[in-house]
Every structure is written in C-alpha cells, then in structure tokens.
Amino acid sequence: MSNGAMPKPEESDRADAPRHVAIIMDGNGRWAAARGLPRAEGHRRGVDALRKVVRATGELGISYLTIFSFSSENWSRPASEIGDLFGLLRRFIRNDLATLHADGVRVRVIGERGGLESDICTLLNEAEDLTRNNTRLTLVVAFNYGSRQEIANAAQRLAREVAEGKRDPATITTDVLGSYLDTSDIPDPDLIIRTSGEQRLSNFLMWQAAYSELVFVPIHWPDFDKAALEGAIAEYATRERRFGGLIAKNVAKTGS
C-alpha cells in the first residue's frame, strides 16, 4: 500500500452501491501455473492485489470489506504452502498495518484462533487493537474460518445456556443465533465476489449470505484490481434486491 493517505471517497452517485463487499480471493495457484511460476509467487502477487483492492474499496466509499484469507479447509494443503501463506500474513501485517491505520482502516479478524502459532495470534490481536477506533473502512479478515464451524459454535453456546437454565429454547430466533456469530456486529454482505470463475461459496459466510448478491468473475485473484471491482459493483447495481418481498430495495429507495 502507498505511504500517502487514502484519498477521500469519490463523489459519484452511489445510490445503488453496496455497503459491504465480501471477496473469495481465488486463483493464485492457477495464475502462477499459467505463467510457469511457483504457487508461492501466485500468493505473493495475491497480496499485491489485496493492497490495491483495499485502497480501491476505501476510494469507492464502501464501509466494509471482508476477505476470505485462510479457510479451515486450507489445512489440507501441503505444509510448505501453508507455511508460505502464513509467512505472507506475517509480512502483510508487519509491513502494511501502519498504513492501514493511517488510512483509517479498522481491522477485524473472524475465525478460530485456537491452535494457531502464538506469533500469529499476537499479530492478529495487534492489528485489531491498534485500529479499533478507526471508522473509514472496516477490513474483516476471515482467517482459519469456516462458516459451518462458526454456526456450530453459536449453536453450542446457546445449547449451554439452555442446559444451564439461562435460556428458554423458545427464545432462540434467527436474530438471536445471528448475534452469536463471529460477525454479530457486522452487517451482512450486500455483494459477494468470487474470482477465478468458480461458482460456489466454499463454506464462506453461508448464514450471512442469505440475501447477498453473488458475482463470479473469470479472472484470477492476482489480476483483480479497481476496474474489476467497479465492474462487479456495476453488475450488483443491475440486480433487484427483494429480500423475499415484491418491491426491489434499490427501486424503493430511489422512489421509482
């Protein structure tokens, strides 16, 4: 990321712009393979793309950006690749945290931290603590995250409350369960983007994605940039979001 402060959001008409964008950053390995490069280089270039997209998100006035950084299923990858991914995370936080903080970005981390190396946990905590009061953009990092486990953890917490006599099962509503998720204080994503052409959520924000618009783009993540982000947002703006009703939200709010 650059050393300069993030520019002010553009003054374009954003009546239909998403408040929260989530991205499944897919295709680093395929990008590298297509160029005869090691997968580690694809991941490194993916971090470069992340820097560009975080900056572009702030410039476009989006309030929340969630990135799928490392899934709970990624542990099945070769140990050398996992080591590369963790090394990139360490370098990203150490090298970019100061700039993120200066640009008013708040960092939030969701996912399981038990079993992670102590220095990784320390870095994640440091990123959250330093940027806690920032308000320009919230960058949500889904790290060692799996949506099924997140939902199961919430159910376990509620079950313990019932077993301990602290809760009547009849009080468990969708809103209550949602309040026990990692994202309880984060709005659901309006738009979920997946790069590299795959068309599935892969255990990412499954509860939160109930009414998200999904946009799948064919380019690999290292090639994703501001223009690609704007293209996905333009596609989002054409959608009619009814949320189960009859009147599209974007039509209702413009008075059409």
133: left (phi over 0), alpha (psi -120 to 50) or beta: alpha
Is residue 31 a known part of a binding site? yes
3 flagged as catalytic: no
Is residue 20 a known part of a binding site? no
99: left (phi over 0), alpha (psi -120 to 50) or beta: alpha
Do 112 and 141 touch, CB atoms closer than 8 A? no
Is residue 202 a known part of a binding site? yes
Is residue 71 a known part of a binding site? yes
Is residue 69 a known part of a binding site? no
CA 9 centroid distance within chain: 20
Is residue 178 a known part of a binding site? no
User: For 200, which DSSP code?
Assistant: S
CA 121 centroid distance within chain: 18
Is residue 179 a known part of a binding site? no
Q: Where are the beta strands (DSSP E) in 37-122?
A: 64-71, 105-110
Q: Which residue among the candidates 3, 48, 74, 175 is catalytic per the annotation?
A: 74
74 flagged as catalytic: yes
Is residue 203 a known part of a binding site? no
Is residue 194 a known part of a binding site? yes
Do 2 and 13 touch, CB atoms closer than 8 A? no
Q: Which residue among the candidates 3, 13, 16, 26 is catalytic per the annotation?
A: 26
Is residue 188 a known part of a binding site? no
Amino acid found at 176: V
Is residue 75 a known part of a binding site? yes
Calpha distance 129→41 (Å, rounded): 30
Do 24 and 204 touch, CB atoms closer than 8 A? yes
- Torsion, CA 158, CA 163, CA 165, CA 167, rounded to 10: 20
Is residue 136 a known part of a binding site? no
Annotated binding site for Mg(2+): 26, 213
Detail the residues annotated as belonging to a binding site for substrate: 27-31, 39, 43, 71-73, 75, 77, 194, 200-202
Residues tagged active-site:
26, 74
